[in-house]
Amino acid sequence: MKRIDVVELYVKKRIEKLEETQGEYKVNAKEITELKDVLDVINQTQPNVKYASVGKING
């Protein structure tokens, strides 16, 4: 597993935990927003998997 995948997984799980515990007072809203921004950056920096691997054409 790549390092960025581990970070992405951690951030997603952290968001889930915060959303479970925030309740009606939205006490974790700021932290959740910041973590979602981190996920956006991760998603923007990851190459598109469909086009990332360029293989040798057998001819």
- pLDDT (tens digit, 9 = 90+) per residue, 1-57? 677 789 999 999 999 999 998 878 888 999 999 999 999 999 898 766 555 455 555
Residues in contact with 35: Cβ distance below 8 Å, sequence separation at least 6, in sequence order: 11, 14, 15, 18
CB atoms within 10 A of CB 15: 19
pLDDT for position 54:
53
d(CA 24, CA 54): 49
Domain map (residue ranges) of the chain: 1-10+22-47
33 near 19, Cβ under 8 Å? no
d(CA 32, CA 11): 9
